[in-house]
Chain A
Amino acid sequence: MPHKCARCGKIYEDNAPELMNGCTCGARVFLFLRQREGRTKEETIEKLKRQELEESDLEWLDKRLGRELGESDKTIHLDVENLLRLERGKYRLDIASLMKGDPLVIKVRNGVYYIDLPYSMRKKKQAKNVGTSDREQVWEIRGKRDI
């Protein structure tokens, strides 16, 4: 039965070494995919790969946000997420939500989210540590984190 990487969506067959060692993208969480009746394993994998290519992230975004995406300066109100990665190098931010102090929720593509759980804790720590050196330290920790 195939397995799908929860982060990048890459499909792996049973017993693939990546299932033990982690996906090429670095993630270690895989979704187990049920095989449809009457379909061979290879057919299922092929079908899933095709689906991956056909599903455009921008399509559902366009449907949901319509004209708002085209207007560069407009603040957008997203759903549960406050940072959308449209594609490599293209991002939309829900400034109002971020400023309100909502936890950072990044939507990478339809159905895949990253939630910055330690964010709230770090925020409290930072508020307490108003001294210069502590602030620098917090910034350094944050600076290393990737989007």
Chain B
Amino acid sequence: MFGRRKIIRLGFYGPPNAGKTTLANRIAMDWTGEPVGKVSEIPHETREVQKKERVVVQTKGKKLIMNLLDMPGIATKIDYEDFLKHGLSIDDAQQRAKEATRGVIEAIKWLENVDTALVVMDSTKDPYTQVNITIIGNLEARNIPVIIVANKVDLKDAKPERIQDAFPQHPVVKVSGLKGKNIDSLYEAIAEHSR
């Protein structure tokens, strides 16, 4: 009656360090000139939901208007000792762990406000993880369209076909958020599969 919703609320989900923020930054920088958030090699850099609203993307004659919602990485275990290796003090590492834990809960709560989910995975890593399976299973149960992003294909050890084999029921787009490789295919997938 009111026509289709014009703005796609696009949630970036996935484990920590899969490249969610790098990918979100790539899209936001290309179309707005501003990044979504800070990236780091230390896991759980994104500990709050980062937003970039009304990002207008033109792809093959179609116009996509998206709210990019970059989520904290989802993990089942958060241990401050993992951050110590990266040179953080004990206090800073423990604080980061607390914020990261809160971030996971927030990311899950935000599932209710997402129209389409990009599940971002690191192509150099084994995709058969319980976190990936749980996220995708839950998105399916909620009837939220899923697009799997096999990220980091620029790396030598990348095996994006493993991701395709693991989740054949969903479209898989092979990209490099860092190098901007194949991002157009991602826009096409978003245009095709979003509701």
A interface residues with partner B (beta carbon < 8 Å): 72-76, 83, 88-96, 98-100, 104, 123, 126-127, 130, 132, 135-136, 139, 142-143, 145, 147
Closest A residue by C-beta to B98: A147
Whether A93 and B75, one on each chain, are in contact in the complex, defined by CB atoms closer than 8 angstroms, is yes
Closest 9 CB pairs of A and B: A89-B80, A89-B94, A75-B130, A99-B138, A89-B97, A91-B101, A91-B78, A98-B108, A72-B77
CA of A90 to CA of B93, assembled, Å = 10
What 4 additional pairs, Cβ within 8 angstroms, besides A99-B134, A123-B112, A139-B106?
A90-B97, A92-B76, A126-B109, A126-B112
Across-interface contacts of A95 in B (CB, < 8 A) = 74, 76, 104, 108, 130-131, 134-135
Across-interface contacts of B131 in A (CB, < 8 A) = 73, 75, 95
Whether A76 and B76, one on each chain, are in contact in the complex, defined by CB atoms closer than 8 angstroms, is yes
B interface residues with partner A (beta carbon < 8 Å): 48-49, 51, 53, 67, 74-81, 90, 93-95, 97-98, 101-102, 104-106, 108-109, 111-113, 129-131, 134-135, 138
Across-interface contacts of A126 in B (CB, < 8 A) = 109, 112-113
Closest A residue by C-beta to B90: A89
CA of A93 to CA of B105, assembled, Å = 9
The smallest C-beta distance from A119 to any residue of chain B, in angstroms, reads 8
Closest B residue by C-beta to A145: B102
Q: Is the interface of B mostly helix, strand, loop or mixed?
A: helix
Closest A residue by C-beta to B112: A127
Among A89, A104, A126, A127, chain B packs the most CB atoms within 10 A around the CB of A89
Among A72, A75, A95, A142, chain B packs the most CB atoms within 10 A around the CB of A95
Cross-chain contact of A92 among B48, B74, B77, B94 (Cβ < 8 A): B77
Closest B residue by C-beta to A82: B105
Provide a sorted-by-A list of 6 A–B residue pairs whose CB atoms are within 8 angstroms. Answer: A72-B79, A93-B78, A95-B74, A98-B104, A126-B113, A139-B106
CA of A123 to CA of B111, assembled, Å = 11
Cross-chain contact of B134 among A91, A96, A104, A123 (Cβ < 8 A): A96
Cross-chain contact of A90 among B78, B108, B109, B135 (Cβ < 8 A): B78
Across-interface contacts of A99 in B (CB, < 8 A) = 108, 111, 134-135, 138
The smallest C-beta distance from B146 to any residue of chain A, in angstroms, reads 14
Cross-chain contact of A89 among B74, B93, B113 (Cβ < 8 A): B93
Whether A90 and B104, one on each chain, are in contact in the complex, defined by CB atoms closer than 8 angstroms, is no
